[in-house]
Amino acid sequence: MFNAFLDGSKPAIESAAIANCCGLDAPEDGLVFPPGSIDDVPTLARPRSEGGVLDHKGMVEVISCLREDGTQIDHDIRKGVWVCFEADTEYLKNCFEEYKVVTDPSGRYMVNYKRWHLIGLELPYSVASVGIRGEATGAATEFRADVVAVAKRDLSAGELLDGEGGYTVSGGLRPALLSVRNGYVPLGLAHQVKLIRSVVKDQAVSWDDIEIDPTTSAYRLRKEVEAGVAP
């Protein structure tokens, strides 16, 4: 689990869950991990056409708490959660100004954040919600984002992939349509499977690159999910 955080697999998995639950898009080339503090989030989480890092509006992204030189950023969001949204009316923009909330320079994008994510205390509420009221705290509504196996180094035919947190592959977030179209292997099925073709570093592993048992329940379920993605 710890390794999966450090190599980006865990953030990719969480971002895919959010995208599929909330109807958001995944970046085509994976998460960017721009460095920034909480106050920087509304400036970063804008489309590139407006000075941010997103391909377009309505996307998931992860903000890094470290600068490119490895130094720590003060007032970071590392242990918390956030959402950035845009004021689509002048009234809302004025509200941002009146309440003195954190916005981008234009005053149109605001970040709403929770400084700490106390999962050990919060999880029981989700369990109770499901068990007592039959209400899920979140459920996927679409297959919009996928986490594919990406080579951590140059891999040779005959090697065994060791899955999440291992030495061979990490998880890279991709749009589901792109993933299915290119035949990428999901990270969850990249454990103890043998490569039959070499894969270079930073390249996504495809079905044609591996030898896998097509009779397993996990593989069949994956193919059922893929069948529901428009070509």
End-to-end CA distance of the chain: 34
Tens digit of each residue's pLDDT (9 = 90 or more) over 124-155: 999 999 999 999 888 898 999 999 999 999 99
What's the pLDDT score for residue 1?
65
Rounded to whole angstroms, how far apart are CA atoms 75 and 111?
A: 14
Complete domains list, the chain, with CATH = 24-133 (no CATH), 145-227 (3.90.1210.10)
Rounded to whole angstroms, how far apart are CA atoms 113 and 120?
A: 19
Tens digit of each residue's pLDDT (9 = 90 or more) over 7-63: 999 999 999 999 999 999 999 999 999 999 999 999 999 999 999 999 999 999 999
Mean local confidence (pLDDT), 63-83: 93
Question: Model-level pTM?
Answer: 0.91
Tell me the residue type at 28: E
Name, in order, each residue with C-beta under 8 angstroms of 32's C-beta and a sequence gap of 6 or more.
53, 61
**Residue where the block lists tokens 């400084």:** 115
Tens digit of each residue's pLDDT (9 = 90 or more) over 194-215: 999 999 999 999 999 999 999 9
